[in-house]
Structure 1
């Protein structure tokens, strides 16, 4: 198996021009990691590639990971398995699988073996004794954490941080904390802002500190912009995502990067950033998640 970490060129940076930005005398650019890989989008490729390299150098023969039924990580891991000819399997939050769900259909089409479990069992995914049981049941499996967040993942995100041009503020959506942890250990600018996409996300702070015990810049986890919690969003947020696409040709989904951009816009309106600030927001991809939202009729079909 040949997995070469640096075969994918860097994603482009897009500058936004808007009356609000000009009024506040700042600059805003978007790191378009949604364009980084044609199938394994954004931070999912960043997190996976060094885990794939670690897998390739291990004595394991398959990948095992965890995810909800609409998980971007599940989608990305299944795609990586297909592309690199790696057998994959996933513990899926169930207890039943909807075989019409587009993420489940895609994972099956990629050859991923899916193992639905109850929500109670799924909560054990970080428990050492449960993980030991999985090692016993699947002795040939390289076990990859939910969301792909671990030390190997940080190495890929570090590369994103050091690739960026000069700036004062860097923003990213934050789910499991891996992208934020990677940015604050590969970044030398003023401040990194993680926009938490789930409720009561302060519990992520010690996890981020454990992943990145020696950050090389200031950082903040902003927990008031979750817009209802993980997987939830208001009509105003979705309208904002649609406005961003119509006005700036920036495609967004309302679960991750859409929440980050909505938060960024509110912070700009509130005068959070001093005049002259150079801001970069990382679009972490996940646009395939809109298929699941359409399937559940949470957004329109357009």
Structure 2
């Protein structure tokens, strides 16, 4: 018998994904007065929203470097509007340079254009070594509670930390919400950067990204609405809907032997207007 045990990584008292806070807290430990929080993300980035909220709560200025300069001429979607409401200044970057943002000269030019002179840089998705080590606590909290721990993945930081904390006692199943098949290498690199070696037992199932990040096919939206109606649990659409759909399909395929304890890590709750604002099709 498959016994799903939904788990949310943090109480969410603000409109932000719970795992983003777990990743941000250790990253922000080194923030000093007078610096501006700067980070990166796409048009529907939950990490941008979390950083904007952190800046508001801490009284720190924030700048979001947003992928896609064509967005500058369009009305803000609900996610970016939430960032602006929380005080984040948005700077839109053409996609070719955004892909090269890790190159030092490109990064310096982007900061100059955004008017930032004293930046405190946070990686895209918040997924740096400090964030990964912070997420290891989630794995330690789950030891002995599940045989398989499943979560949706964007940049891989939460999964990288979770596997390290869980240790050999369980397996972590990641459901990427982005397409491209690059996450496995990113997770290995994060393990090396944070811990010096590979960590834990984990795997990825790349079949459930539904076309890419922030893609919400009508069939997936219907599944999420049905899940909400049956279980009374609000389903966030960027990550959680894809995770729950993946687990449903895998259970139907017989991927989990009888008696398997599966913990579904609910990495966030829907913010007002955010799920409804996603285009369906």
TM-score calculated relative to the size of structure 2: 0.88
CA deviations 1:99-118 (Å, max 9, x no partner) are: 44222222222221211122
1:133-212 equivalences in 2 (<5 Å): 133-134=109-110, 138-164=116-142, 166=144, 167-188=146-167, 189-201=169-181, 203-212=182-191
What residue ranges of structure 2 are gaps of 5+ in the alignment?
Answer: none
Q: Which residue of 2 aligns with 1:9?
A: none
Q: 2:29 aligns with which of 53, 57, 70?
A: 53
Counterpart CA distance in 2 for 1:68 and 1:286 is 19
Number of equivalences: 271
Q: Distance in 2 between matches of 1:156 and 1:172?
A: 16
**Per the alignment, in what secondary structure is the counterpart of residue 274 of structure 1?**
coil
Residues 159-200 of structure 1 deviation map (CA, whole Å, 9 limit, x = unaligned): 111112521100010111111111111112221010011222
Residues 191 and 199 of structure 2 are in contact (CA less than 8 Å); yes or no, is this contact kept in structure 1? no
Give the match for residue 205 of structure 2.
222
Following superposition, the deviation at residue 215 of structure 1 comes to: 4.0
Report the aligned-residue RMSD. 2.1
Residue in 2 aligned with 1:106? 82
Measure, in 2, the Cα distance between the counterparts of 1:216 and 1:209.
8
Q: Distance in 1 between matches of 2:38 and 2:275?
A: 26
Distance (whole Å) between structure 2 residues aligned to residue 245 and residue 80 of structure 1:
29
TM-aligned CA distance change 1:170 to 1:84, over 3 Å: same
- Structure 1: segments with no counterpart, 5+ residues: 1-24
**Is 1:78 aligned to residue 52 of structure 2?**
yes
1:7 matched residue in structure 2:
none
After TM superposition, the structure 1 = structure 2 runs for residues 87-106 of structure 1, keeping only pairs within 5 Å, are 87-95=61-69, 96-97=71-72, 98-106=74-82
Q: Provide closer, same or farther for how the CA distance between residues 274 and 254 of structure 1 changes in structure 2, counting only shifts above 3 A.
A: same
Give me the TM-score of the superposition, normalised by structure 1: 0.82
1:252 to partner: Cα distance: 1.1
Aligned match of 1:67? 41
Q: Deviation of residue 135 (structure 1)?
A: 6.0
